[in-house]
């Protein structure tokens, strides 16, 4: 009954007493229980959600509710929700409770949105498969032997399987868009600095963004305009006024859309069905009157190395605060250690998983005195070149189109000789983070195994309005 309804439709149904918010919460809870084997929620705030729903139901009757009343949200477990546990999918934060609300949470609650629980994710948001969580892998809703993507994998599954209407995730290199593509939902990353990260556990601060996963562009628009904008707790947030994104859904004039020629080159590593869907999307857009043009991007192959050098460097400093003293987990063996350093070492060795340790070491290496210029400083320069080249493209084009990922969802636990194989998953998504621009992934079809295929559209800085309006037009609602 509630499946596939947008927030607007839900609000109309609530007002007409077709069902209550309590009923809606029970429907989501039922789906969470039914699909428990997918391992989506680390914790469900069942009693709290039902209690709050009853209170909001009362106020719906008297017409005194906020504009997000009826919205039930799941949060990736990297976002602080006061007095609730917060683990970042890591053992090192086991038992840690958030001391305050993230700004996004404050703003959601202020408009009567309800938080239903915290969702599994790759440890410290590092990964593309959810296999890096200390709390077990999350499974893909289309094939439980496959990954849901990462790092906000569970957040995408929750939306696909109607366990909440919308999930709040984080996107440092594709972490809302890639799982959205693998799970057949929409994943939206705003411009860097559009949404406050106060209360978001930091991975790589010059890349990290809060992102949204949903089924309807208008839900993304409505939530975005509520949570975006200036925040005294995060100085990286732009002062630019927040637009009414939900009011911008009128038909757009023909657009100029670029795509990278080399993606369709015969030697590129695209899965055949992903290639076919890119080609058919291009054809369709042309039939609709848009100008779709192949362009060259000789710097494309540098994006991933730049991303992994800079994000590991930033991660190595951001994660130095987890020392077994200040937050969560402390190894019991470490208590007997003779000195502070040995205690830190013991807790970090046991508390962090393999991928996180690998990245801390890589980051420490690229920041070390002997290699700083060769790696970190050079990567910063190349980042600048990529950002400037991206800007040049937008002087001529409205959007850049690509697949969201080179392949559809892959199998859980496939051993990889080379970690770079997994990093290649991020080939198309990281540009938006390197350049700080908004991007969205939406579903265009399925492959032969009936796994969803996603396309990505990127737009220029602060063109969220145009991007969401175009998306709405594309999916024909
Ligand atoms: N998969 C990418 C990584 O492992 C992106 C992660 C993210 O966006 N948080 O870094």
- Residue-range domain boundaries for the chain: 1-297+398-477
The protein residue whose alpha carbon is closest to atom 5 in ligand 1 is: 173
**Cα 320 to averaged position of ligand 1 atoms, centre (Å):** 19
**Residue 139, C-beta contacts closer than 8 angstroms, at least 6 positions apart:** 37, 38, 39, 145, 146, 147, 148, 157, 412
pLDDT, residue 337, reads 63
Q: Judge whether 175 counts as a catalytic residue.
A: yes
Q: Are 122 and 423 in contact (CB under 8 A)?
A: no
pLDDT, tens only, 251-261: 678 999 999 99
- Lowest-confidence pick of 176-190, 277-291, 326-340: 326-340
- pLDDT confidence tier of residue 334, bands split at 50, 70 and 90: low
88 lines ligand 1 (CB under 6 A): no
Condensed to tens digits (0 to 9), the pLDDT of residues 142-198 reads 999 999 999 999 999 999 999 999 999 999 999 999 999 999 999 999 999 999 999
Atom number, ligand 1, closest to the C-alpha of residue 127:
4
The answer on pLDDT for 415 being more than 80 is no
Residue 276 has pLDDT above 70, yes or no: yes
By most ligand atoms within 8 Å of CB, the mutation choice from 175, 313, 425, 434 for ligand 1 is 175
Does residue 332 register a pLDDT over 80? no
The 10s digit of each residue's pLDDT in 84-142 is 999 999 999 999 999 999 999 999 999 999 999 999 999 999 999 999 999 999 999 99
Q: Which atom of ligand 1 is nearest to the CA of 175?
A: 8
Q: Which of 128, 175, 334, 441 is catalytic?
A: 175
List the catalytic residue out of 151, 152, 347, 402. Answer: 151
Q: What is the CATH number of domain 1-297+398-477?
A: 3.90.1300.10
Instruction: Identify the band that residue 414 occupies on the pLDDT scale cut at 50, 70 and 90.
Output: confident
Pick the catalytic residue from 52, 76, 161, 189. 76
- How far apart are the C-alpha atoms of 430 and 420, rounded to whole Å? 14
């Amino acid at each position: 009954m509630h499946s596939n309804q947008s927030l607007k439709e839900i609000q109309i149904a609530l007002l007409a007493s077709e069902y209550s918010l309590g009923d809606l919460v029970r429907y989501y809870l039922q789906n969470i229980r039914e699909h428990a084997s997918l391992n989506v929620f680390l914790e469900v705030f069942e009693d709290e959600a039902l209690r709050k729903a009853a209170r909001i139901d009362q106020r719906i009757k008297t017409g005194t509710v906020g504009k997000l009343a009826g919205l039930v949200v799941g949060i990736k477990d990297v976002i602080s929700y006061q007095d609730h546990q917060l683990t970042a999918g890591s053992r090192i934060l086991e038992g840690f409770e958030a001391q305050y609300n993230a700004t996004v949470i404050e703003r959601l609650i202020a408009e009567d949105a309800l938080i239903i629980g915290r969702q599994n994710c790759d440890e410290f948001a590092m990964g593309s498969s959810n296999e890096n969580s200390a709390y077990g892998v999350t499974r893909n809703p289309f094939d439980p032997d496959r990954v849901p993507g990462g790092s906000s994998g569970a957040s995408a599954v929750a939306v696909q399987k109607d366990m909440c209407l919308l999930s709040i995730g984080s996107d440092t290199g594709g972490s809302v868009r890639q799982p959205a593509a693998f799970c057949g939902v929409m994943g939206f990353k705003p411009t860097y600095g559009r949404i406050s990260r106060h209360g978001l556990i930091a991975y790589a601060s010059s890349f990290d963004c809060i992102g949204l996963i949903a089924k309807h562009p208008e839900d993304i628009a409505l939530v975005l305009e509520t949570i975006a904008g200036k925040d005294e707790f995060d100085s990286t947030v732009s002062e630019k006024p927040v637009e009414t994104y939900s009011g911008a859904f009128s038909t757009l004039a023909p657009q100029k859309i670029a795509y990278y020629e080399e993606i369709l080159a015969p030697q590129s590593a695209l899965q055949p069905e992903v290639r076919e869907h890119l080609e058919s999307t291009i054809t369709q857009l042309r039939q609709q009157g848009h100008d779709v043009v192949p362009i060259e991007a000789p710097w494309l192959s540098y994006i991933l190395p730049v991303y992994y050098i800079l994000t590991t460097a930033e991660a190595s400093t951001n994660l130095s605060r987890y020392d077994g003293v200040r937050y969560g987990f402390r190894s019991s063996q470490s208590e007997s250690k003779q000195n502070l350093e040995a205690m830190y070492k013991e807790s970090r060795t046991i508390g962090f998983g393999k991928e996180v340790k690998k990245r801390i070491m890589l980051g420490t290496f690229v920041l070390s005195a002997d290699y700083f210029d060769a790696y970190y400083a050079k990567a910063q320069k190349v980042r600048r070149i990529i950002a400037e080249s991206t800007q040049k493209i937008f002087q001529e084009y409205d959007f850049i189109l690509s697949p969201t990922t080179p392949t559809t969802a892959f199998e859980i636990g496939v051993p990889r000789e080379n970690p770079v194989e997994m990093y290649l998953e991020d080939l198309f998504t990281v540009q938006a983070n390197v350049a700080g621009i908004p991007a969205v992934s939406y579903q265009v079809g399925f492959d032969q195994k009936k796994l969803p295929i996603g396309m990505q559209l990127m737009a220029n800085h602060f063109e969220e309005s145009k991007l969401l309006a175009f998306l709405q037009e594309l999916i024909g609602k």
